[in-house]
Structure 1
């Protein structure tokens, strides 16, 4: 299936049905009074996030989505039927923009999330609502309101924990094939990856994360070279970026240091927020060099890199499991840190039977006696000067 991550659609909600002016006409009832019913409401256009869909291909060709109009009311106090709603299923991660103003309307970031794209119009009122003691034969009624009409731009940003970044043929697709069950195309020419690929990396029976592979960047992508910045948006939801560098290129004139700096510069020019994301350096094809440790130290020194660095061979699998475990541990720490405040016992509400500050259980509040009631002997023991006290 062709991968489509942008589409422009038009949604038109249903118009509400008109009310009706009608009067009851039956034999032997010459003055039956008004009995005009209301019009039905127009249908509404909804959108729901579905994790079983991973592309916007359906909305590239079906661009207009129209809900049903409400039916008109009729006599005998009969209301018109409401228009049928329609629900558009979209991939999780779809962002809905107003195509005319550019305003972000909705972000469908969770499976099953449902939003209203265009609300249906309300039905009109029949003359039944206008009767009164002074207006016994009203002929007024109202028309149904039109439904909302919008032009929307859909933009898909895939949901992943880890994003792969690098030049074409750096080994990104080979790495995702090695770590997960994803099977992107791998070949010995550049730009074999033409759309993002997602893979689930399972490090344990109950621990996993999602990794995303996007088409490679080249220097000058901001000016449209290669595939440009078309797919960089898919990295905006990731927690960490893996910058893959081919340290053993087939072309001897290619400088890996220069290519690594070019990728970082393109990232900065595209989005400063994406540039500030946590980034790990991954040196690929380390099995093709004589001194891997020395090359790693010299590479980091010349690049000025002080962050996490891993030396791997995506094809041979050397160092890939250590990289996967390090990513899993780092992601688990990030998730625990995000939920630490919510699970802090200091902010939990105290139980009802919590002990007092001195360690003794708190005494229940005393009940106030009813007005006019005499206090009981058990509640107020007699004093020594009470003449009714027991001997």
Structure 2
């Protein structure tokens, strides 16, 4: 199963500046000749593969990207200045295709790779270009050529940075719907989630991560019981696992600690490396626990579960505690990415600055 992140953008390179018709007017030179300069070229649009990005979410908020046009030519042999280029940062692995025909145009395969995706128009000719022995005073000029305009579809096959673990009805689908753009089916019966749901969580401009909601695990999943075993392999390449626990089950006979231990046991049976991944405990549905009982119930769970790692108390339904959790997740994922991309990446110095940032 492939997870794909998509976005559509319109790009426009700058038009070229127009040429100029002008003649020298100097003292004692009645017929000074033509001196109209050419127009400047329009700005190009470049795409650069940024290893620090892993989603296309920013391009859903900023669809139009347009470079500046070139300046017009002027008299006294002055050529117009070229329009400034813009650079769009995209994750490594982004595929750019024509939005109408579906034809693949470009692929960003290497960190730091730079591709011109729209060429600026050339500047028009001033009248000094048309001077000849038989045309001493030309009045011809040409307009600037238009820049390329394209409607592009961006595609990125993504791997989840964060995977959600938990029993059916633990609130995983509600959590991913609360913090991301995913809209999974949510109901109050087991196995509502039949397929993995992928959500992109936007923390800020150029700050995002991908979270996967895996169908709930039950005891015996590693041997094929339930649905979760079909998708455990998708968690093997995540950077972090969130173990979501229903702290207020409808059935009083259900022990959240026993359920949590069953999940950990299934992970260990399925794959020891998956069991060893960083895992945080997320105690959900606090809105269903009386405020005066919350601290005692959380403390009792942590003590009986013998948990010594990070603990987060949230209510996915009311979003209480979710903001702190997603910001902490982003810091962890970003630190992991920086460690993975520790080797220096050679980037063309023209594109080192932030000329154009998707907002």
3-state secondary structure, aligned to 1:335: helix
Does 2:154 match 1:161?
no
- What is the 5 A alignment of 1:1-391? 5=1, 110-112=93-95, 159-290=159-290, 291-342=293-344
* Unmatched 5+ stretches in structure 1: 7-48, 54-91, 93-108, 115-156, 344-391
1:224 shift after superposition: 2.2
* Dislocated runs of 4+, deviation >4 Å: 49-53, 111-114
Q: Distance in 2 between matches of 1:228 and 1:335?
A: 27
- Report how many aligned residue pairs link the two structures: 202
User: For the Cα contact (< 8 Å) 1:161–1:209, is it kept in 2?
Assistant: yes
For 1:293 and 1:253, the matched residues in 2 are separated by 21
Distance of aligned partners of 1:248 and 1:50 in 2 relative to their CA distance in 1, 3 Å threshold: closer
1:258, distance to aligned residue in structure 2 (A): 0.3
**Hey, what's the Cα distance between the residues in 2 that align with 1:163 and 1:236?**
9
When residues 50 and 284 of structure 1 are mapped into structure 2, their CA distance, relative to the original with a 3 A threshold, is closer
Deviation readout 1:133-187 (Å, 9 max, x if unpaired): xxxxxxxxxxxxxxxxxxxxxxxx9611110000000000000000011100000
Secondary structure in 2 aligned to 1:268?
helix
Instruction: Tell me how far 1:236 sits from its aligned partner.
Output: 1.1
Residues 1:270 and 1:111: Cα distance change in structure 2 (over 3 Å): farther
Q: Structure with the greater relative contact order (CA < 8 A, sep ≥ 6): 1 or 2? A: 2
Structure 1 residues 286 and 207 mapped into 2: Cα distance closer, same or farther (>3 Å)? same
The 1:202/1:268 distance shift into structure 2, 3 A limit, reads same
* Inter-CA distance 280–331: structure 2 relative to 1 (3 Å threshold): same
SS in structure 1 of the partner of residue 230 of structure 2: coil
RMSD: 2.6
Following superposition, the deviation at residue 340 of structure 1 comes to 3.4
Q: Is the 8 A contact 1:284 1:311 kept in 2?
A: yes
| Conserved 8 A contact 2:5-2:158 | no
Inter-partner Cα distance in structure 2 for 1:236 and 1:161: 10
Shift of 1:336: 2.1
2:215 and 2:228 in contact (8 A); partners too:
no
Normalised by the length of structure 1, the TM-score is 0.48
**Contact 2:222–2:267 (8 Å) recurs in 1:** no
Is the 2:173–2:186 contact (alpha carbons within 8 Å) kept by the matching residues of 1? yes
Q: State the distance in 2 between where 1:212 and 1:50 align.
A: 12
